[in-house]
């Protein structure tokens, strides 16, 4: 496949990577002088906003003035933050960029204090009065949902003094996350190992995952795992202290705002019942048999005496096939044809822009993400390494990018931002379409097996593994809520029990694996985030099925409902948005359907494996 495509640059020096594979920041600001001017403009508007205190009761025009000014500040916030953050992420060794980012964050913290008056003052206006003002003032219509949703959460809003006091903690609350990022990214030194073939590899995150994805020698994978994890466990007590600080912060904020648990505090803002998470965990934990069957099948087909976490990624059958960046882009564009001409056009425009940063370089942040910049577009960070996983990562992040772009283009600023709860629907739906496209492109039985295996692995990675993470987070936070001590030993014990509950005897729980909690950025950057990968995966599975099965009319209706979801931003509570797209996550069927789907796929893999093995 990749023989005619351009090869991945054989360099980690960013200056040597062609510009076509690197971000162009000028659509955000042409230069740093423009950024400085925007910072001054934003600060002036923030001061103007603070001066509006005491005016809301004057009538709907006063409320509108505050909302319009808040929008202007918000748009500048996106641009000033993203211009700095994106450039920091391509070289996290650049201390000058850290300093600029801290300036932005300090200004945001200052505004949090300046704006602390708004919600308490708004809530002194009776809800019935506000509803009348909105109904009789057309310009207030875009703010209807966020304004009225504030009344729903009224019991968790403090008086002005309380809100101002809490606002002082905003910058300090982000410190543990910043410390973690510095320790785990900027200051980390990844070791070099010598593999069985004599080659030496520096275990950057990308290189480590490439070994796990491609190296068929279990001893090499074990050696890489041991060295990579010890990079983190060498500071295990420091990581535990940072995580304890994050959980203590979460518990402080929850109690300050009159929530009974940290989970309730994390979910109430989007009107998500805590039962969604609790039922998700309970259903997946009870549905662990297909997961364990698959791991035992892998162990058998790989001919291993013991099975470990680092054996989870290597292909069972080998095919000599790579996926260059150009391949990944082409396949992704072709795969989303069922979503129609409008979506396809926007996808191609984005795919051919300079808003994707493609290859790994020294100092660059690991992993992948999409960051929407309101009024500009989406920026996607990749570390493309020509693997099948990289091809799916491209489709995944492009799904996020298109979701953000469609939301921004079809919603006013006040409701353009969608919630995390629906964020992974578009990305995982794109992955499903890419799988279909790849299966259509090959008749080779081993290639097809590997693609089907990828579908199974997606369920493991996006559903089960994320629920293991969510289970761990919930157990750890509950210890804090009970006033129990938090140490590295305690956190490792929680994670060890989670591994036992889900994987059972199908996988050897190495002691280093029980310390996985120390290297998962989501735990430190965004607590109670990961469960949403699983709920989104369940949602996208149902939406995909509706768009690809049944009569043509119903398929088209499902596509229209899906595109409406992508365009809806945050104009309603996410559970309600998904209901409109045909998914009800308040019922157990959506979660159980994924368990059943895995069971069917494992059965199919067992049959296909038997055919391949018998043909040897």
Report pLDDT digits (tens) over 396-410. Answer: 999 999 999 999 999
Quick one: average pLDDT of 113-122?
Answer: 93
Count CB-CB contacts under 10 A for residue 305.
6
Cβ(193)–Cβ(208) under 8 Å?
A: no
Q: What is the rounded radius of gyration, in angstroms, for the C-alpha atoms of the chain?
A: 25
Helical residues (DSSP H) of 26-156, grouped into ranges:
32-50, 60-90, 95-114, 118-122, 127-136, 144-152
Work out whether the CA dihedral 270, 275, 276, 278 comes out positive or negative. Answer: positive
**What's residue 448's pLDDT?**
83
Return d(Cα 369, Cα 465) in angstroms, integer.
19
Q: Is residue 192 helix, strand or coil?
A: strand
- CATH level 2 (architecture), domain 259-353+392-616: Orthogonal Bundle (1.10)
Place of tokens 């949403």: 532
pLDDT of residue 6: 58
- Read off the pLDDT of residues 41-69 as tens digits, 9 standing for 90 and up: 999 999 999 999 999 999 999 999 999 99
Hey, where are the domains in the chain? 17-173, 259-353+392-616
Query: Range with the lowest mean pLDDT among 191-195, 316-320, 393-397?
Result: 316-320
Burial of 383: CB neighbours in 10 Å, binned 0-12, 13-18, 19+: buried
Confidence (pTM)? 0.80
Q: Is 270 exposed, middle or buried (0-12, 13-18, 19+ CB in 10 A)?
A: middle
pLDDT for the residue numbered 589: 79
Cβ partners under 8 Å of residue 446, min gap 6: 317, 318, 319, 612
Confidence class of residue 7 from pLDDT cuts 50, 70 and 90?
low
pLDDT at 4 over 50: no
Confidence category of residue 1, pLDDT binned at 50, 70, 90: very low
Q: What is the C-alpha to C-alpha distance for residues 531 and 462, in angstroms, rounded to an integer?
A: 9
DSSP per-residue string spanning 274-285 = HHHHHHHHHHHH
Q: How much is the pLDDT for 414?
A: 96
Cα–Cα distances in Å, from 448 out to 439, 442, 453, 466, 615?
6, 7, 8, 26, 15
Fold exhibited by the domain 17-173: Butyryl-CoA Dehydrogenase, subunit A; domain 3 (1.20.140)
Helix (H) / strand (E) element for 451: namely helix 445-459
User: Averaged over 495-510, what is the pLDDT?
Assistant: 95
Q: What is the pLDDT of residue 393?
A: 95
């Amino acid at each position: 496949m990749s023989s005619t495509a351009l090869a991945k640059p054989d360099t980690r020096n960013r200056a040597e990577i062609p510009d076509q594979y690197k971000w162009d920041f000028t659509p955000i600001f042409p230069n740093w002088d423009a950024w400085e001017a925007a910072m001054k403009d934003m600060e002036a508007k923030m001061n103007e906003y603070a001066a509006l205190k005491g005016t809301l009761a004057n009538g709907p025009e006063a409320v509108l003035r505050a909302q319009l000014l808040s929008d202007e500040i918000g748009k500048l916030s996106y641009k000033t933050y993203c211009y700095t953050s994106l450039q920091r992420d391509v070289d996290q060794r650049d201390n000058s960029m850290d300093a600029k980012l801290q300036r932005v964050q300090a200004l945001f913290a200052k505004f949090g204090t300046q704006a602390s008056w708004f919600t308490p003052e708004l809530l002194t206006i009776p809800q019935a009065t506000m509803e009348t003002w909105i109904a009789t003032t057309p310009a207030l219509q875009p703010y209807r949902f966020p304004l009225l949703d504030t009344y729903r959460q009224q019991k968790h809003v403090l008086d002005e003094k309380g809100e101002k006091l809490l606002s002082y903690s905003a910058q300090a609350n982000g410190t543990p996350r910043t410390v973690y990022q510095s320790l785990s990214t900027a200051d980390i030194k990844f070791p070099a190992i010598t593999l069985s073939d004599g080659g030496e590899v520096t275990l950057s995150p990308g290189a480590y995952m490439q070994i796990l994805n491609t190296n068929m020698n279990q001893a090499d994978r074990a050696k890489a795992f041991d060295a990579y994890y010890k990079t983190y466990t060498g500071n295990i007590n420091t990581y535990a202290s940072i995580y304890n600080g994050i959980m203590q912060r979460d518990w402080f904020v929850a109690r300050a705002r009159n929530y009974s648990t940290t989970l309730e505090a994390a979910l109430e803002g989007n009107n998500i019942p805590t039962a969604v998470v609790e039922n998700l965990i309970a259903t997946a934990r009870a549905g662990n048999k297909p997961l364990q069957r698959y791991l035992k099948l892998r162990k058998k087909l790989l001919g291993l005496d013991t099975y470990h976490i680092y054996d989870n990624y290597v292909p069972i059958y080998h095919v000599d096939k790579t996926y260059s960046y150009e391949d990944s882009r082409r396949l992704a564009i072709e795969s989303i044809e069922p979503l129609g001409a409008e979506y396809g056009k926007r996808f191609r425009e984005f795919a051919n822009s300079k808003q994707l940063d493609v290859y790994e370089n020294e100092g660059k942040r690991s992993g992948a993400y999409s960051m929407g910049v309101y009024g500009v577009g989406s920026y996607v960070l990749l570390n493309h390494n020509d693997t099948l996983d990289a091809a799916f990562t491209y489709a995944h992040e492009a799904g996020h990018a298109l979701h953000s772009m469609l939301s921004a283009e079809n919603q006013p600023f006040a409701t353009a931002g969608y919630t995390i709860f629906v964020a992974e629907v578009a990305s995982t739906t794109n992955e499903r379409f890419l799988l279909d496209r790849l299966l259509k492109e090959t008749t080779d039985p081993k290639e097809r097996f590997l693609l089907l295996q990828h579908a199974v692995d997606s369920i493991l990675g996006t559903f089960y593994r994320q629920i293991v993470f969510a289970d761990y987070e919930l157990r750890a936070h509950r210890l804090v809520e009970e006033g129990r001590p938090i140490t590295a030993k305690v956190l490792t014990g929680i994670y060890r029990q989670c591994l036992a509950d889900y994987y059972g005897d199908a996988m050897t729980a190495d002691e280093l694996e029980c310390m996985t909690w120390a290297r998962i950025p989501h735990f430190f950057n965004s607590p109670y985030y990961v469960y949403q990968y699983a709920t989104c995966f369940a949602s996208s599975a149902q939406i995909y099925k509706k768009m690809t099965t049944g009569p043509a009319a119903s398929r088209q209706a499902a596509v229209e409902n899906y595109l409406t979801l992508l365009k809806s931003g945050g104009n309603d509570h996410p559970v309600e948005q998904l209901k409109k797209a045909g998914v009800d996550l308040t019922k157990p069927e959506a979660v159980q359907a994924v368990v059943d789907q895995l069971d069917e796929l494992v059965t199919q893999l067992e049959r296909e494996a038997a055919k391949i093995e018998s043909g040897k």
